[in-house]
Chains A and B, each alone.
Chain A
Amino acid sequence: MNHRRIPSLAVLISAAALLSACGSSHGTTLTLYSGQHEQTTAALVAAFEQQTGIHVAVRSGDEAELADQIMQEGSNSPADVFFTENTPALEALRGHDLLAPIDPSTLAQVPSRFDSPQGDWVGVSARVSVLVYNTSLIKPAQLPSSILELAEPKWRGKVGFAPSETDFQPLVTAITKLDGAARAEHWLKGLQANGKLYPDNETVVAQVNDGQSAVGIINHYYWFRLRAELGQAGMHSALHYYAAESPGDLIDVSGAALLRSSGHQADAQKLLAFLVSHSGQEIIAHSNSYEYPLRAGVAPASGLRQFADLHPVSLTPAELGNGSATLAMEQRLGLL
């Protein structure tokens, strides 16, 4: 046997073996799968670790991919807590019976309409659906009072939106719930004819700001984040809130859940409780994520319209569900 014949192989295999030795976490460390924005998550986790001494390992990713990953991991999932920007991913995991009930005292910290009715996930923060408009292309007087108007012919070529974003489906679902599926599909067709399609909301707000599109359908915080990136001098756009309780005036909830498979149920419950605690919610308000804290008595970041002044349609995230009917509708129309 001539051992010299495979020197590179031997080096490789030993290197690979060495590499495999490092990595992965053990012990009392909690593992958090997070689809939430990284800076918010990092600030929350740091404060939680300091307060409780429980270490949290964060894995950030696309929340839908993380949900698919948890479904594959099943009972072996290393994740203890799943924190998302939107509720459909949580609802999907609930549908697969992968979530454990959350302490009622935690759920009670935020208005119950923002929690899972079954108590399987807790609402942590919220965003409101708005219209961003380019201030040199559109006069405030031209702005629509309802999102339904954007399907009218006068908006042809002017509306930017991202049909594949998780934020978009709830809008269509809300119209379906309020006005029926036929009306919703009619509206979506009109919007499709008028619209410019973008891959995500980040692109929508950037393109409206650059004047490539006159208006764009987004959640409020994308605009504030772009302003944080560019500075006020770089902003050539503004936000427009739809009329109270009109279909476009919708709240999107970011939530968190406890995995049934978690081996650290008690510590994980502590993390969830922290997310909706006063100090946790203050962090959300001041972490430059520009989301609304859901706990009563915690003011949002300055510059945001007060949460109490928003008058969204009275549909809960649970009522909006996982949006599968909307998904089918979008696919039928070729929007996805």
Chain B
Amino acid sequence: MSSSASAATAPLTDTLTRAWSGRTRWPLLSLLLATLAGALVLLPLAFVIVEAQQSGWGEVRHLLFRHTVAVLLWNTLRLAFACTLLCAVLGVASAWCVERTKLPARRVWAVLLVLPLGVPDFVIGFGWVSIDHALHGYLAAVMVMTLSLYPLVYLPVAASLARADVSLEEAARSLGATPWQAFWRVTLRQVRPALLGGCLLVTLALLAEYGAFEIVQYRTFTVEIFTQFKLGFDTVAACALSLVLVALSLAALGAELALNRRGTTRIGPGVPRTARRRSLGRLTAPVLGGLALLAALALGVPVGALVYWMARGSSSTLPPASLLAALGHTAEFSAAAAALSTVLAVPLCALSLRHRNRFTLLFERLAYLPMALPGLVVALGLVAFSVRYAFALYQSSFELIVAYAILFLPLAIVGVRSAMTHAPAQLEEVGRSLGYRPAVVWLRVTLPLIARGVAAAFALVCIYSATELTATLLLHPTGVNTLATQFWAYTTELSYGAAAPYAALMLVISALPAYLLTRRVGVLERREHAR
């Protein structure tokens, strides 16, 4: 097959011709799915642009070039910078401890480290503010967001560390590198796609965050956008401000691309060597202490708040709602969303990595943008589209699932992409040269190689969808409650005691995918090694 060098310059027509010629059938399916993904992703972007320019670009300029915007820009940038850096350090350090050392109870840590993702932002924020009401401003925002977002780095990096071939590291050591040098020059380079992907997710998630900043009183673009929506009823101004978010995320996407040159793939004879776990020795106690502190801050605080609410009890006057029904709906919607976004992410990544050209790269990059937009903007974009062109789908389960898939597609992409970077394209070529059809090769070679990444992608989207609130409130089918909407209904009633079990259940159903993530994907892993 084409080498990556020529594919990089291959124009669109070439890709299309090869797809049609039947030589590579798989890219045709990829192209179709990628086009679908692109269309979905462009929907909220189109909404933002159409709305923003409704009162003319002069008005947009007027809205954007004012002092407030400079303040918001500064607030947003310094937060994104500090949080991303902290998340990178915490994520890599904890992933290395779990995957490469003889850490006591590492299975438990592996789950605990992912769980903060399952705590909705408003629960985290509330937990902190109930401990210390003075927790406001920049440092509070950095701390709360770092503690809730570092798993976005931890997860892909841990998966990447588990897969990375340790023989390179050993070679470095044998050539005289110190353990630190080997880590810095070899291991970190091996996990770079995962690390950068995770950092990108952190940055994008920060740009779109609202709930936690509202509670710690920190003004970012998204907070201002919500103010325009909620107090000004001004969609035009909100969308004009959203344009800045789009610009900021484009910058982040470009930076990630520039830093992320082709990752290392393993070729050559033999099976990859998995790392021998290093004994922590004297460092065991400090490492355990550090991880315990991290878990206590990231999980203990919100869980403590939930326990406190539940213990305090409730005499809510709300009509009784079925916890089980809400749980069922949440599980159903988030699993479907996770499946959909994973199915869309695989071809996007396959195209951008295996058939890399400007066109396929653009597709993949575009798919990240909605994550940086506030959930309300994406949801309103879907509202505007579906009431006009797909009314039968309006406020259906299907539309809600599509909304989740659009919002969280980047989470799936990062998981799949880092796995696919590790999977050598040469193996697929060997398969094809042996006369197997591309589909068979894909199923028997590529899929087992990226299975872990696909599972990670699925789990991440599942967790995020289960705790999503804004889009859910706008798009859920009438009469169908989810854990998040029911939690919201109770907290707006001050019925924290009644609300707490819903938040606890959100945590529990996030723990399940988190737990699955930490298991070696049994069968697939063995087949992969036998190959």
Given A202-B492, A213-B133, check contact A62 B230 (CB 8 Å).
Answer: yes
Chain A interface helix/strand/loop/mixed: helix
- A-binding segment of B214-222, B242-250, B502-510: B214-222
- A-binding segment of B146-154, B168-176, B435-443: B435-443
How far does the Cβ of B428 sit from chain A's closest Cβ, in whole Å? 14
Q: Quick one: CB contact mask for B307-342 with A, threshold 8 Å, 1 for yes?
A: 000001011111100000000000010001001100
Whether a CB of chain A sits under 8 angstroms from the CB of B388 is yes
Whether a CB of chain A sits under 8 angstroms from the CB of B295 is no
Task: Choose among A73, A207, A231, A334 the residue that contacts B219 (Cβ–Cβ < 8 A).
Answer: A334
- Does A24 contact B396, Cβ atoms closer than 8 Å? yes
How far does the Cβ of A108 sit from chain B's closest Cβ, in whole Å? 29
- Does A2 contact B439, Cβ atoms closer than 8 Å? yes
**In the assembled complex, which residues on chain B have CB atoms less than 8 Å from the CB atom of A226?**
494
Given A61-B474, A197-B136, A229-B315, check contact A206 B494 (CB 8 Å).
Answer: yes
Chain B interface helix/strand/loop/mixed: helix
Q: Which of A192-230 contact B (CB under 8 A)?
A: 196-199, 202-203, 205-207, 212-213, 222, 225-226, 228-230
Q: Which of B439-483 contact A (CB under 8 A)?
A: 439-440, 442-443, 470, 473-474, 477-480
- Does B233 contact A67, Cβ atoms closer than 8 Å? yes
B interface residues, tally (CB under 8 Å): 68
Q: Which of B46-72 contact A (CB under 8 A)?
A: 68, 71
Q: Which of B492-506 contact A (CB under 8 A)?
A: 492-497
Whether a CB of chain A sits under 8 angstroms from the CB of B387 is yes
- Does B396 contact A20, Cβ atoms closer than 8 Å? yes
- B-binding segment of A36-44, A120-128, A241-249: A36-44
**In the assembled complex, which residues on chain A have CB atoms less than 8 Å from the CB atom of B219?**
334, 336
**In the assembled complex, which residues on chain A have CB atoms less than 8 Å from the CB atom of B443?**
4-5
- Does B215 contact A39, Cβ atoms closer than 8 Å? no
Q: Quick one: CB contact mask for A85-113 with B, threshold 8 Å, 1 for yes?
A: 00011001000000000000000000000
Whether a CB of chain B sits under 8 angstroms from the CB of A22 is yes
Task: Choose among B133, B227, B318 the residue that contacts A164 (Cβ–Cβ < 8 A).
Answer: B227
Whether a CB of chain A sits under 8 angstroms from the CB of B380 is yes
Across the interface, name the chain A residue whose C-beta is closest to B223. A336
How far does the Cβ of B337 sit from chain A's closest Cβ, in whole Å? 10
Q: Quick one: CB contact mask for B109-147 with A, threshold 8 Å, 1 for yes?
A: 000000000000000010001000100100000000000
- Does B133 contact A196, Cβ atoms closer than 8 Å? yes
**In the assembled complex, which residues on chain B have CB atoms less than 8 Å from the CB atom of A51?**
none
Given A68-B235, A229-B316, A229-B497, check contact A331 B133 (CB 8 Å).
Answer: no
Task: Choose among A24, A38, A59, A207 the residue that contacts B319 (Cβ–Cβ < 8 A).
Answer: A38
Whether a CB of chain B sits under 8 angstroms from the CB of A281 is no
**In the assembled complex, which residues on chain A have CB atoms less than 8 Å from the CB atom of B401?**
16, 19
Q: How large is the interface on A (under 10, 10 to 19, 20 to 34, 35 or more residues)?
A: 35 or more
Residue from A31, A42, A226, A336 having most chain B Cβ neighbours under 10 A: A336
Whether a CB of chain A sits under 8 angstroms from the CB of B491 is yes
**In the assembled complex, which residues on chain B have CB atoms less than 8 Å from the CB atom of A5?**
439-440, 442-443
Q: Which of A14-42 contact B (CB under 8 A)?
A: 15-17, 19-20, 22-25, 31, 37-39, 42
How far does the Cβ of B123 sit from chain A's closest Cβ, in whole Å? 13
Whether a CB of chain B sits under 8 angstroms from the CB of A12 is yes
Report Cα–Cα, A203/B314, bound state, in Å.
17
Task: Choose among A8, A323, A331 the residue that contacts B227 (Cβ–Cβ < 8 A).
Answer: A331
Task: Choose among B393, B478, B495, B497 the residue that contacts A59 (Cβ–Cβ < 8 A).
Answer: B478
Report Cα–Cα, A58/B477, bound state, in Å.
11
Task: Choose among A4, A24, A72, A199 the residue that contacts B383 (Cβ–Cβ < 8 A).
Answer: A72
- Does A38 contact B489, Cβ atoms closer than 8 Å? yes
Task: Choose among B229, B315, B317 the residue that contacts A68 (Cβ–Cβ < 8 A).
Answer: B229
Whether a CB of chain A sits under 8 angstroms from the CB of B391 is yes
**In the assembled complex, which residues on chain B have CB atoms less than 8 Å from the CB atom of A64?**
229-231, 233
How far does the Cβ of B442 sit from chain A's closest Cβ, in whole Å? 7
- Does B477 contact A202, Cβ atoms closer than 8 Å? no
How far does the Cβ of B375 sit from chain A's closest Cβ, in whole Å? 10
Residue from A76, A222, A226, A334 having most chain B Cβ neighbours under 10 A: A76
- Does B479 contact A57, Cβ atoms closer than 8 Å? yes
- Does A72 contact B387, Cβ atoms closer than 8 Å? yes
How far does the Cβ of A219 sit from chain B's closest Cβ, in whole Å? 12
Whether a CB of chain A sits under 8 angstroms from the CB of B190 is no
Report Cα–Cα, A76/B493, bound state, in Å.
31
- Does A324 contact B133, Cβ atoms closer than 8 Å? no
Whether a CB of chain A sits under 8 angstroms from the CB of B363 is no
- Taking A20-B397, A38-B319 as given, write out 16 further A-B residue pairs in contact, using a Cβ cutoff of 8 Å, ordered by the A residue number: A12-B343, A16-B398, A22-B397, A39-B318, A39-B493, A57-B478, A68-B229, A68-B233, A71-B235, A164-B214, A199-B214, A207-B133, A229-B497, A327-B231, A334-B219, A336-B227
25 contacts between A and B (CB under 8 A): A5-B442, A8-B339, A9-B343, A19-B401, A25-B478, A25-B479, A31-B478, A38-B489, A60-B485, A73-B383, A74-B387, A76-B391, A78-B394, A78-B395, A88-B231, A196-B133, A199-B125, A199-B215, A202-B492, A226-B494, A229-B316, A287-B317, A288-B317, A327-B232, A336-B219
Which A residues form the contact surface with B (CB < 8 A)?
2, 4-6, 8-9, 12, 15-17, 19-20, 22-25, 31, 37-39, 42, 57-62, 64-65, 67-69, 71-74, 76-78, 88-89, 92, 164, 166, 169, 196-199, 202-203, 205-207, 212-213, 222, 225-226, 228-231, 234, 287-288, 322-324, 327, 331, 334, 336
Which B residues form the contact surface with A (CB < 8 A)?
29, 68, 71, 125, 129, 133, 136, 214-215, 217, 219, 224, 227, 229-233, 235, 312, 314-319, 332, 336, 339-340, 343, 376, 380, 383-384, 387-388, 391-399, 401, 437, 439-440, 442-443, 470, 473-474, 477-480, 485, 489, 491-497
Instruction: Identify the 4 closest CB pairs spanning chains A and B, nearest first.
Output: A20-B398, A23-B477, A92-B233, A5-B439
